[in-house]
Structure 1
Amino acid sequence: MTDHQTPGMAMVAWVTKRPWFPLCPDLTVRENRPGCCLVPEEPPKRPDPGLYSQSELLAAGSALSWDSPDITTNLSGRTTLDENVRVTVRNYSADASAVGTQVGLEYSRFGIGFARAAIGALAVDLNRAGSVGDERTLDFYLPSAVRDEHDNISVRVTVNHPHDRNAANNSGEQAWSSSSATAGAAAQFGFQLHNSLGATTDFDLLVMEADWSANLSDGQVTLMPGQARNITLTVQVPSDASSPRRFNVVALVGGGLYGGVHHRFDV
C-alpha cells in the first residue's frame, strides 16, 4: 500500500491482479447444461370417446345412414316419438379411460338444416376399449311439448372430452321416419331442406341407395339464407316386395356434409 492508497483501494488492486478470482461471472458465456424438459419416448395415452358419426364415415368413403345404431328416437314398430331419446357412446381407445365425458343432445324439427334446441347434457365415465364399462347407454328425457308437436325429429349428439385423441367421431345424428307402401305401386316420402347458412348456397342432394328405382324431385337446389324447399323421394315398389326398404338422402355443400334424413318404407 502506498502513501496515497486507502486499505480498500489496495484490496481492489490486489484482487484485479489475480485473474483466477473474477469479480463477477462472464454473462456472455452460458454453461452447457443438459435439457431440463422431459421428452417421452411414446406419445401420451389418450381416450377416444365417440359414437356412430356420419361425417367420419363420409370422409372415409363408407356407407352411412341417418338411422343411427347409437341413437333411438322412435321405438321399433312405432311412428311416434318415445319418451326418451336413447344414446349409446363408447370409448374406442384401449390405452386410456374417458372419465368425465360430456354427452349433449340437441333436436330440431324433422328435415335437413333446421335450427336446433338443446335437450340436455350428461356426464359419463367410459373404461378402456375391450373392458367392461367401455360402452354406456344414456336416456335423455324428451319433453312432452316436443312429443305432442312432432311424430319425428332430427337430433344431434355431441361428445366432448378435454384429452380426446380423435374429434372425427364426436358428433352423430338421427333423422328417422317411416311410412307404409304397397307392392307394385309407387311410394313417396317428403321432407324439407332449409338453408341455415349466412349466404345463398348451392346444395347437392343424393340418395344413398340404388334399389327400388329411387328418384328425388330435386338433385340440386339453390337457396337463399333462411329459405326452405320441399323435397320428395319417389320409389317404385317391386310387385314381389315383402319386406321393408330403407333409404337415406344426404345434402352436400361443396362436397362437405350438410345433413341427411332416413326413411323406411314398410310393405
Structure 2
Amino acid sequence: MADRHLKDLTGTITRLLFSLLRSLRDLLAYLVRLLRLLLSLLWQLLHCKVPERYEVQDCAHVPPQVNRRPDPCLYSQSYLAAQGIAITWDNPDIRITTTEGVPISSTGLAPDTDYIVEGTIHNASFDPAIGVRVRSYFRSWGIDFADRQPTELDQNGEAAERIVHIGAWGQIISTFKWHTPSQAGHYCVTVECYHPADREPANNVGQENTDVVEARPGSSARIAVPFFNRRARERDFRIDVDEYEIPQGHVALALERISEKSVHNRVVRRDEDTARLIEQDALRGARIRLADGHRRARLGEGYEVFGYAGRSRLVAEDGQGNFGLERDWVVTLPGRERSENGWRVVVPPGDTEMIDVVIDVPERSSPEDRKVLNLTARDRFGTVVGGVTVILKVVADRAVP
C-alpha cells in the first residue's frame, strides 16, 4: 500500500515538473518574440526620416484640420454647474407654445392638449455643425425622475428626431409636437442634441423645470417637490437655494490672440489664480487655421489660439455662491437638516421623497414683485442631479383665494 502511494506521489510530482518546464519554455518564447518586436520598432524609429511638412512624409500623421470640430449645444445646467457657474432651471433655450405660437408656462399646461416644444440649438464653434440630431422628452415634474417619454413619436413609435445644420457660431430652432397626457399633471421638458464629432458632448442636454406660485406680502408660500432616487441604494443629497437669473441684455466677448509669450507675460504679472484662468482660456479658446508661417507647437501646424477677452471676468461674476437670498427673504425645508452646503435630503433606493419648501414673503414686498428661486440638488460628490426653479409672484390680498 505504501509503495503504491509513493508511486502516485512520484508521478504527480513528475507531471508538475513537466508542466512547469513547459510554462517556462512558453514564457521564454514570448519574451523572445517581444524583444524582436521592440528591436524592430527601434530600428524603424532610428531610420524613419521626419520631413518638415506632413503632406510629404511617409509616417502616419493626422492633418491639423481634422482637429476642427463643431460644438452643438444648448443651455445645459449640469455642464454650467461643473464650470462653477450659477444655474437656473428656467431654461432660456426651451420654450413651450400653443399650436398658434403663443408662449405658455410649463405650469399652465392643460391635459389632452396639443402644444409645440421649441429647442434652440447653438453651435459654439468656428466650424459648421452638419447633421445634428435633436430630440425632446418630458418626464414627471420634480428632481431626478427617470420616467422620460418622447414629446413626439415618429412613424415607428420611437422618439421623433430632427436633423439640423448649424453654421459657425449660429443657432437654429427645432420644433416638436406634443400632445399632453389625458391625466392632468406638471412636467419637466428636456431637449438634447448629438453629433458624432462633437467637441464638447457634456453641454448637449438642457432641462426646463419650473413652478409658479403666488403669495401675499407677509405670508408664506408652500410647495411640495418630489425627489426620486433612481439608484438601487440609499442616496444622500444636498439642496441649496439661490436667486440667480440669466442677465438681461447683450453680452459681447471679443476674441484675442493668446500666444505663449503673452500668456507667460501675464502669468508673471498676476497671481496664480488669474494665471490659471488665462491658461484655461487658452485651452478652451477657438483654434483657427492660418498660414504655415503662423505656428503654435502642441496644437498643430498652422494654428494659433484665440481666447475671449473678459471671459474669466464673466464666469467670476456669474459664479456659484454669488446669488444668495435677498435680505428678509427666507426659504426653509421643514424637517430637514441644514448645513453650509445646503439642506440634507436622504432618499431610499427606487423611492420618492416629498420635499416641503416654505417661502416666507417679506412684509415690505409690493404686489407685482417677482422672485426667482432655484433649488438645486447635488450628490455627496457635488455633482448636480437635478433641480427646479420656483417663480414666486407677490399679489394683493384679494388675488389669493
Shorter-normalised TM range? 0.7 to 0.9
Q: What is the identity percentage for the equivalent residue pairs of Structure 1 and Structure 2?
A: 31
Gaps of 5+ in 2: 1-39, 50-57, 98-102, 152-159, 244-324, 337-342, 395-401
2:346 equivalent to 1:222: yes
**Aligned residue in 2 for 1:112:** 143
Deviates more, 1:97-106 or 1:30-39: 30-39
1:98 to 103, 109, 129: 129
**Aligned residue in 2 for 1:61:** 84
2:77 equivalent to 1:48: no
2:179 equivalent to 1:143: yes
* Matched-pair contact (CA < 8 Å) for 1:80–1:151: no
Answer with 1 or 2: which has the greater Rg: 1
2:355 to 231, 236, 253: 231
Q: Compared with structure 1, are the counterparts of its residues 121 and 42 closer, same or farther at alpha carbon in structure 2 (3 Å cutoff)?
A: closer
**Aligned residue in 1 for 2:11:** none
For the residues of structure 2 that align with 1:56 and 1:70, how far apart are their CA atoms?
Answer: 14
Q: CA deviation at 1:76?
A: 4.8
Q: Root-mean-square deviation (CA), in Å?
A: 2.3
For the residues of structure 2 that align with 1:230 and 1:244, how far apart are their CA atoms?
Answer: 25
For the residues of structure 2 that align with 1:139 and 1:106, how far apart are their CA atoms?
Answer: 12
Q: Compared with structure 1, are the counterparts of its residues 41 and 90 closer, same or farther at alpha carbon in structure 2 (3 Å cutoff)?
A: closer
* Matched-pair contact (CA < 8 Å) for 1:109–1:150: no
Q: CA deviation at 1:57?
A: 1.4
1:89 to 121, 125, 133: 121
* Matched-pair contact (CA < 8 Å) for 2:239–2:375: yes
Q: Compared with structure 1, are the counterparts of its residues 73 and 226 closer, same or farther at alpha carbon in structure 2 (3 Å cutoff)?
A: farther
* Matched-pair contact (CA < 8 Å) for 1:204–1:253: yes
Q: CA deviation at 1:79?
A: 3.9
2:387 equivalent to 1:260: yes
**Aligned residue in 1 for 2:371:** 245
TM-score, with length taken from structure 1 = 0.80
TM-score, with length taken from structure 2 = 0.54
2:200 equivalent to 1:166: yes
Work out the number of aligned pairs and report it. 233
* Matched-pair contact (CA < 8 Å) for 1:108–1:154: yes
Q: CA deviation at 1:78?
A: 7.7
Q: Compared with structure 1, are the counterparts of its residues 161 and 126 closer, same or farther at alpha carbon in structure 2 (3 Å cutoff)?
A: same
**Aligned residue in 1 for 2:330:** 213
Q: Compared with structure 1, are the counterparts of its residues 110 and 230 closer, same or farther at alpha carbon in structure 2 (3 Å cutoff)?
A: same
- The one-letter code matched in structure 1 to 2:186 is N
For the residues of structure 1 that align with 2:80 and 2:106, how far apart are their CA atoms?
Answer: 28
Q: What SS does the aligned partner of 1:37 have?
A: coil
For the residues of structure 2 that align with 1:174 and 1:62, how far apart are their CA atoms?
Answer: 17
For the residues of structure 2 that align with 1:151 and 1:244, how far apart are their CA atoms?
Answer: 24
Q: What SS does the aligned partner of 1:214 have?
A: strand
* Matched-pair contact (CA < 8 Å) for 1:190–1:232: yes
Q: CA deviation at 1:195?
A: 0.6
Q: Compared with structure 1, are the counterparts of its residues 77 and 99 closer, same or farther at alpha carbon in structure 2 (3 Å cutoff)?
A: closer
2:164 equivalent to 1:124: yes
Gaps of 5+ in 1: 1-27
For the residues of structure 2 that align with 1:144 and 1:39, how far apart are their CA atoms?
Answer: 49
For the residues of structure 1 that align with 2:91 and 2:106, how far apart are their CA atoms?
Answer: 16
Q: CA deviation at 1:230?
A: 1.0
Relative to its length, the structure with more helix (as a share) is: 2
- The one-letter code matched in structure 1 to 2:375 is V
2:212 equivalent to 1:178: yes
Q: CA deviation at 1:88?
A: 0.7
* Matched-pair contact (CA < 8 Å) for 1:89–1:137: yes
Q: What SS does the aligned partner of 1:113 have?
A: coil
**Aligned residue in 1 for 2:269:** none
